[in-house]
Amino acid sequence: MCNFAPMNGRKRYYSIIVVTYNNADGLRRTLNSICQLDYCEKEVVVVDGGSNDGTLHVIAEFQNMIATSVSEHDNGIYNAMNKGIKLAKGDYVVYMNAGDEFAGKDVLTLVSRYAGDIILGEDIYGGRRRRLKDRMTLYDLLSMGIRHQAVYYRREVLQRYGFDESYQLIADLKSVVQPFVKDRIVITCVTEPLAVCESGGLSKQRWRETLTENRRLIDELVEPFYRDDYQKLARINNSMVDDFIVLSYFPKLFPLIRLMAKIARLLNDKFKHIPME
Give the model confidence (pLDDT) of 61-93 as tens digits: 999 999 999 999 999 999 999 999 999 999 999
25-48 CB burial, b ≥16 within 10 A, e <16: ebbbbbbebbeebebebbbbbbbb
Percentage of the chain with pLDDT > 90? 59
pLDDT tier at 124, thresholds 50, 70, 90: very high
CA angle 100, 105, 108 (to 5 degrees): 85
To the question of pTM greater than 0.85 for the whole model, the response is no
